[in-house]
Amino acid sequence: MSYETILVEQKGAVTLITLNRPQALNALNAQVLADMIDAFGKFEADASQLCAVVTGSGDKAFAAGADIKEMADKSGAEFYAQDFFSGWTNQLVKVVRKPWIAAVNGFALGGGCEVAMMADFIIASETAKFGQPEVKLGVAPGMGGSQRLTRAVGKAKAMDMCLTGRMMDAAEAERSGLVSRVVPADKLLEEAMKAAETIAAMPPLAAMMNKELVDMAFETTLDTGLVMERRMFQVLTATEDKAEGMKAFVEKRPGVWKGR
Ligand code: HXC
């Protein structure tokens, strides 16, 4: 699998995707979006792949945002006609039911922070820096920053970051609930891959349904969410992997999953 702006490797059951425009701090242009949609489509369709990790090439950045040079001369009419960057949500996030992790190594700014927040969770290196500095460019977040950041860290910090454009370091991001873990920079990929391998070793349908349920908590009322949770639990009890999982526990051995 060869792309212009990303590297894609299959490592066992884990797909590792590396944003690969280090000369532009992995800024996200239209080609990155096209490559990511294709790579995620293949990841989703390949039954051997059960979890993905997205990271940035180089030490400096996960992604320093949407490509400002690409946006600078585009007219408002073009942004609207193209529904600029809607593909990140509509053709990527909404399409991918398998779990994926963002491994953030350095700057995750603007669209970079937004792509990290699209992942199911973020593992950050100690050097990671998160921000929504769009206000300084005369715009606002356009790929979920105002919505996902607010849900992750609450109004006070989201307002602070969106209005001042300041960056949040890894320690603050962990304290605020934006990232699940912070690890030393030289261990980032190893730790993210280990987490992905752990997920990939789970019964796949259960992993997907767990993802769907946690996501649902942001979309529905508590009552409806609790009903959906019970229904999904009950659906999972009908799988062969449930029978195997409980039998394996009783027999004190690892389960062997069929994904059905
Ligand atoms: C295009 C970028 C870029 C970006 C960095 N570069 N960020 N190119 N788009 N978002 C390029 C620089 O032009 C430069 O290339 C090279 O990467 C290295 O960057 P420097 O600025 O020289 O590095 P440094 O001084 O270390 O500063 C790092 C930085 C700074 C603090 C991350 O680059 C920065 O502030 N970048 C912009 C961050 C930002 O505003 N992001 C939000 C974008 S708007 P050359 O060739 O000049 O050497 C957005 C909206 C999303 O994301 C919504 C869309 C729908």
ipTM: 0.98
What's the pLDDT at 143? Answer: 97
**Cα–Cα distance for residue pair 209/230, rounded to 1 Å:** 11
What's the pLDDT at 216? Answer: 97
Q: 204 CB under 6 A from ligand 1?
A: no
What's the pLDDT at 26? Answer: 98
Q: Residue 183 pairs with which residues in a beta bridge? A: 125
Residue 102: enclosing H or E segment and its boundaries?
Answer: strand 100-104
CA 110 to ligand 1 centroid distance, Å: 10
| Distances in whole angstroms, Cα of residue 139 to Cα of each of 9, 21, 198, 205, 237 | 35, 23, 40, 40, 48
What's the pLDDT at 248? Answer: 98
CA 64 to ligand 1 centroid distance, Å: 5
CA 89 to ligand 1 centroid distance, Å: 22
What's the pLDDT at 145? Answer: 97
Active site residues: 66, 111, 114, 134
Task: Classify 165 in phi/psi space as left (phi over 0), alpha (psi -120 to 50) or beta.
Answer: left
Which residue's C-alpha comes closest to atom 26 of ligand 1? 60
Which residue's C-alpha comes closest to atom 16 of ligand 1? 24
Q: To the nearest whole percent, how much of the chain has pLDDT over 70? A: 100
Counting ligand 1 atoms within 8 A of each CB, the residue from 19, 20, 23, 25 with the most, and so the one to mutate, is 25
Q: Check if the beta carbon of residue 119 is closer than 8 Å to that of residue 137.
A: no
pTM: 0.97
Residues of the chain with pLDDT under 50: none
Atom of ligand 1 nearest to the CA of 136: 40
Task: Classify 26 in phi/psi space as left (phi over 0), alpha (psi -120 to 50) or beta.
Answer: left
